[in-house]
Every structure is written in C-alpha cells, then in structure tokens.
Chain A
Amino acid sequence: MRDVAIIGVGMIPFGRRDEDTLVDMLAYASMKALDDAGVDAVDALYVANMGGGVIQRQTAIASALVDRLSLLPAAADLVENGPASGGSAVKNGVLAVASGYYDVVLVAGGEKMREVTGWRATDFVATLTHPETEYPYGITLPGMAGMFTRLYMEKYGVTREMLVQIAIKNQTMGALNPYAHVEMMITKEGVMDSPHSVVNNPPAATPLHLYDMCPVSDGAAAVILCPLNRVKELTKNLPVVVAGFGQATDTHTLAEREDPTDLKAVTLAAQQAFERAKMKPEEISVAELHDAFTILEIAESEHVGFFKKGEGGKAVLEGKTRLGGQLPINVSGGLKARGHPVGATGVAQIVELTWQLRHELPKERQVKGAKAGFSINFGGFGNNVVAFVLKRGEK
C-alpha cells in the first residue's frame, strides 16, 4: 500500500446558497481544490452526498459533476453514507490511491438542504433511522440526541453549562471563519443566565436547547489526493499525509445497544486510525469532531481517548479545548457554527485540518505549530463512524 497525501483543498462558504444548485456548489469547491493543488486532470472522483435524490430529485451526482468539471473520462462514484458520507468518500479516495489503482483523485462532498423548510430537512435526515422500529414513530436526530444527552448527563455528570460553553466556543470560532454558516457570537448571559434566555434559547429536544444544535446548511468542500511519492512532481504545496483512518459501525437501532451512552463505533474507528498512524491521542495538535449537537463534542472527545470518560466536559470548562488550550477542538467552529451540509461535513473537516497543518490560517484561527490533526465524522447516531489522523508532511 502506498502512502497518500492531500495536495489540494477547496471549500465554499457554508450557509444558505439559494442561487447555487447542488452540482454548482460541488463544482466550485472542486475547482478551488484543483487550483490549490495545481492539477487539471484526475483519474477518479468520489462524491459525497446524502440527499440529492430526496431533496433535489437528482441522482447520479458524481456523473453530473465529472462532466461539469470537464474531467471526463475520469471514473466517478457517488458515496452515500448518511452524515458520514464525506468521511467515507475521503476513505474511498485514500484506498484508491493507496492501492495503486489511481494516482490523482478528487473527493468532493456537498449538500443543499436549505431548499426545503427546516422540518422537512430534519425529516430527510431522519430517513437514516430504522424504517420499522424508529422512523414511523417520529424519531428525529435531535430527538435521539436529546435522549442521549439525558443519559450522558446522568452517567458522567455533564452539565448544561458545559454544553453552553461548547456552543459559545464554537460560535466564537465560527465568527472568525469566513466559511462558517453562523458568524454570530453568543454569550452565557444571553443563552443561559438571563431570564430572557428562555426565549432566546428555547428547549429543542430536552435537555438540548436551540443553541446546542447545528444549523441546517448548504455547502461543499473538496480535496485532491495523490501518492506521497508523486507530490513533488504534481504540486508546489506542502503535502498533508493521511497517516491513518478507521471506520466502524454499530447497531442501526439505538434500542439494541447494551449501553446507549457507549459510542463503540467512535472508539473503534479512532483506535484503528491511531494504530495505522502509529500515533496516540496525546500526539494530536488539533481535532475536528462531529458536534452536530454540543453533547457529541464531549462524548466523542472521551470516546476517542482525548479525555477520560467524565472528563471531557470539565476540559471544556477549563479551556483545554479552546484555541491555545491543550487540544483545540473545532477551531473551524465545528458543525455547530461552520454548519452541517451533511454530505460536505466529513470533507470539510479534512479541508480545515489541511489548512491547520499547512499553517496557512490567520493567526486568530491557527493552531500554532500544528503537526497532527484528527477528525471524527459521525454517521447515523453513531452507527457508522469514520476517523482520520493527518500529519504535516515535508516539502
């Protein structure tokens, strides 16, 4: 197997993009990544998207994109794996290059969710739940997250303040990220302490409140992969090395899990990624975790081994996960502020980590001296999880 490098990345601002089609967005992000790498041809495309067939009534998105980009006759595949579609597509691209079958691969992820009302978008995402034992009873992902939060609070002592501090941290970082959907800072007074916070931050899926939720977003992101030994001939960029990845699954229905607070697939995916990278969690400089709900940032940080169980929330209160802290998490703003166009998210995490590891970001967003990055792309409610460990390469 060959070592794989990321040589180009591109992203478009997430948010509400009424004027762009899904394929437009994917094309813009892809062109940015191609330009960044300095390549104009690829052997294959892997395109992550979850809802094109449902929301836009458009299928075969990869075929549409390869033609739009004039990259014919490159191979083109659509990867649909729920909210982990982006991570899965990157993984497939990495495998294709590592195997020696393809040399230059474009991975693009995109989603256009603001075309429908919020509740239809929530319903669309809920189609990933079990079609007989969950979906018909009205379960939604926020509903699952609410139940998970209640159990996690009881078991590990997570408090509402810990969740609020994650929302504040991630929205503060999002306000510095030109690609973030939500650029508005919030305060503890405004969302928790003031009596007016009852209206500002109403319960959404108790005990989760409005500001515990990621927004529904449009957006796209893309990366270019190649074998590490061909980097110098293909690009002038500093390569970022895919040191390891992992993917694991868990039961489709939450009710079948022995302990619903145990995110086994997160733990296993992270373990695989660290083993392949021959690294440990303490060697990570910056992490992008899948905080579709604030509780997930805490739970994932514990399940991947950054903190012991019950310590993740305390680390947030102590500022350990802020920029400048022991392990900055979601410096991009995370899903909470950058937004969560589901097919794009896993790719966007890799784009953000690449910028961090190349040391390209403005000072107020850059993790100083970042050498290794880690991501978790959390599909379903933890039933399909993809993890990556990336390392800063050498010129």
Chain B
Amino acid sequence: MAVDMELELMLRPPALPMAPYPSKVITLANGKKMVVREVQREDIPTLLKAVHPTIFIHKDFYDIVGSRLYSELVGMYTHRTANEFCLVGQIDGFLVGMVNSRMYSAKTGMSLHTLAIDRGLRVGAHLFAAKMEHHIEYLGQEEVLIVAESPIGFRRWMIEYGLEPTDIPHELGGALSFRLTRQLYFETKSRLVAGDRPVPQELLEVAQREIVIASEADIREKIAGLKGR
C-alpha cells in the first residue's frame, strides 16, 4: 500500500536526536559471553517472534510484559512511538533477553520493559543496567522514570538500586514512577553495571550476523518450565 508521506509525517511523533549505544560484552555466571547491543528498526520483526510466545505465559507477569513489549516494538517499527530504543542480549547469536525504553524528553527517560528469556543468570539485571547506562551516559539524561510490573522487577530495580519514589504517573498503566537520578546511577554503577568494550570482533560478528530465536516451545520452557529456572 502506498504511504501518504504527507499524512504519515503528521502521524509520526516528533523525534529527539539519540546517540547510539556502544555494544559491550558481559561474562555471565556460567562463563558464557553475552553481547549487549542496540538493534535497529529492521531487526524488530525478528524480535517479535521471541516476544509473541511470552504473551501467553501467565506467570511472573510475562503475559503483560510480553503484550506491552510487543506493541511497543510494533510502535517503534511503525514509527508510532517517540524516541524508543531497544537493546538485546545475545549468547552465541541466540537472543537471551531484551530491554526497551524511550526518551520522554531531552532530560527524562521513560523505562519501558525488560524481558529475560534465559533465567537464573541475571540476564535481566544486566540488560536493565545497560538500559540505564544508555539513558544516563550516552543519551545524557538526568533521570529515568521506572515502574515494575512484577515482584521480581521490584526487587531488581526498586530495591537493588534504591530508586526514589515519586508521585509521577508512569506511561505503563499509570503506576507511580520510581526515579533513577544521574547521581544515584553513578553511586550504584560499580556494583550493578558490568561490561567490557570494545566487544571482540568475532563475538560482535556472530551477534550481528543473525539474531537467533529459540523455538516457541523452548522459550516457554526456559521462562515457565516446571523448575522455574
């Protein structure tokens, strides 16, 4: 279908300039190397394949996280969400988790979602930290507004970072936001933000060559298997 660009430009939200996120590599507890990198708009259809099965996992709030993340990624793909970025974690090319977020304004970031597919390795914690790193260090923002949809998220973000409660309703359902300030970020960085740069070329090439997505059955097992790993 031909796009009416004149109308389309009116439908798209205004965009702020966004610095790229430099890739990094993290050694996980099992010794495996997770490459964390920013994906581009053209990668989104691939990511949606990984998010889709999570919509139907009624455990640990994966269903709401998956549903909202899916729509946010579609919003990014169709230019309907302003200033959104998405970072992924890959081990040997396989997608093990992702985070997305957006610039609400030049000063304030609006943290959206964190989805861990491989569990028990603090993949989600590492990716969330990368998201905060991007907001504060590369996008140069002063604060990030954050909410948690699950108790696991609450423990990881609000408690581990000691986030400040606010009375600002968050975009995600209107829950009151917690705030990561630039000062708090740098106070917690040494114990919560990890990663080496530059990523060795061979690791980066494997990650960039293809985002490998596990089968839907494997994703369900990894997230919601009997053992809850």
B229 engages A211 (CB within 8 Å): no
A187 engages B228 (CB within 8 Å): no
CB of A70 within 8 A of chain B? no
CB of B155 within 8 A of chain A? yes
Contact of B27 among A13, A184, A185, A190 (CB under 8 A): A190
A199 engages B126 (CB within 8 Å): yes
In the assembled complex, the CB of A322 is this many whole angstroms from the nearest CB of chain B, namely 19
B120 engages A182 (CB within 8 Å): yes
Contact of B30 among A17, A187, A202 (CB under 8 A): A187
In the assembled complex, the CB of B94 is this many whole angstroms from the nearest CB of chain A, namely 16
Per-position 1/0 for B176-220, Cβ under 8 A of A: 000000000000001111111000000000000000000000000
Of chain A, the residue at the smallest CB distance from B228 is: A16
CB of A118 within 8 A of chain B? yes
B30 engages A185 (CB within 8 Å): yes
Contact of A202 with B227 at beta-carbon distance under 8 Å, contacts A118-B155, A211-B29 already known:
no
B129 engages A199 (CB within 8 Å): yes
In the assembled complex, the CB of A218 is this many whole angstroms from the nearest CB of chain B, namely 9
CB of A234 within 8 A of chain B? no
B191 engages A186 (CB within 8 Å): no
A165 to B56, CA, bound (A): 39
In the assembled complex, the CB of B212 is this many whole angstroms from the nearest CB of chain A, namely 20
CB of B125 within 8 A of chain A? yes
In the assembled complex, the CB of B91 is this many whole angstroms from the nearest CB of chain A, namely 12
CB of B139 within 8 A of chain A? no
Contact of A200 among B29, B59, B229 (CB under 8 A): B29
A18 to B58, CA, bound (A): 11
Contact of B227 among A16, A185, A189, A196 (CB under 8 A): A16
CB of A358 within 8 A of chain B? no
Of chain A, the residue at the smallest CB distance from B129 is: A199
Instruction: For B31, list chain A residues within 8 Å (CB).
Output: 186-187, 189-190
B191 engages A202 (CB within 8 Å): yes
B190 engages A198 (CB within 8 Å): yes
B227 engages A186 (CB within 8 Å): no
Instruction: For A211, list chain B residues within 8 Å (CB).
Output: 29
Instruction: For B228, list chain A residues within 8 Å (CB).
Output: 15-16, 18, 114
Of chain A, the residue at the smallest CB distance from B195 is: A196
In the assembled complex, the CB of B126 is this many whole angstroms from the nearest CB of chain A, namely 6
CB of A201 within 8 A of chain B? yes
A189 to B126, CA, bound (A): 17
A106 to B67, CA, bound (A): 47
A195 to B126, CA, bound (A): 13
- Tell me the A3-39 residues at the B interface (CB within 8 Å): 13-18
Instruction: For A15, list chain B residues within 8 Å (CB).
Output: 226-229
CB of B12 within 8 A of chain A? no
CB of B151 within 8 A of chain A? yes
A331 to B76, CA, bound (A): 50
A14 to B59, CA, bound (A): 18
CB of B28 within 8 A of chain A? yes
- Tell me the B5-62 residues at the A interface (CB within 8 Å): 26-32, 59
Instruction: For A202, list chain B residues within 8 Å (CB).
Output: 191
Of chain B, the residue at the smallest CB distance from A190 is: B29
A198 engages B194 (CB within 8 Å): yes
Contact of B120 among A18, A118, A184 (CB under 8 A): A184
CB of A264 within 8 A of chain B? no
CB of B107 within 8 A of chain A? no
Instruction: For A199, list chain B residues within 8 Å (CB).
Output: 26, 122, 125-126, 129, 191-194
CB of A191 within 8 A of chain B? yes
A18 engages B59 (CB within 8 Å): yes
Contact of A196 among B27, B155, B226 (CB under 8 A): B27
CB of B121 within 8 A of chain A? yes
B227 engages A13 (CB within 8 Å): yes
Instruction: For A196, list chain B residues within 8 Å (CB).
Output: 26-28, 194-196
B229 engages A194 (CB within 8 Å): no
Of chain B, the residue at the smallest CB distance from A193 is: B27
CB of A181 within 8 A of chain B? yes
Of chain B, the residue at the smallest CB distance from A200 is: B29
Per-position 1/0 for B111-126, Cβ under 8 A of A: 0000000001110011
Of chain B, the residue at the smallest CB distance from A196 is: B194
Instruction: For A302, list chain B residues within 8 Å (CB).
Output: none
Contact of A181 among B29, B122, B151, B227 (CB under 8 A): B227
Most buried by A among B28, B129, B190, B192: B28
B191 engages A184 (CB within 8 Å): no
CB of A183 within 8 A of chain B? yes
A18 to B226, CA, bound (A): 8
A184 engages B226 (CB within 8 Å): no
A187 to B33, CA, bound (A): 12
Most buried by B among A183, A184, A185: A184
A185 to B126, CA, bound (A): 19
A201 to B194, CA, bound (A): 12
Contact of B151 among A117, A184, A186, A198 (CB under 8 A): A117
- Chain B interface (Cβ within 8 Å of chain A)? 26-32, 59, 120-122, 125-126, 129, 151, 155, 190-196, 226-229
11 further A-B pairs in the complex, CB-CB below 8 A; given A196-B27, A196-B196, A199-B193: A15-B227, A16-B228, A181-B227, A183-B229, A186-B30, A186-B31, A187-B29, A187-B30, A187-B31, A190-B31, A196-B195
A-B residue pairs in contact (CB < 8 Å), sample of 30: A13-B226, A15-B227, A18-B59, A117-B155, A182-B229, A183-B227, A184-B121, A184-B229, A186-B29, A190-B27, A190-B28, A190-B29, A190-B32, A194-B27, A196-B26, A196-B27, A196-B28, A196-B194, A196-B196, A197-B27, A197-B29, A198-B191, A198-B194, A199-B122, A199-B126, A200-B28, A200-B29, A200-B121, A202-B191, A211-B29
Closest 4 interchain pairs by CB?
A16-B228, A15-B227, A187-B31, A196-B194
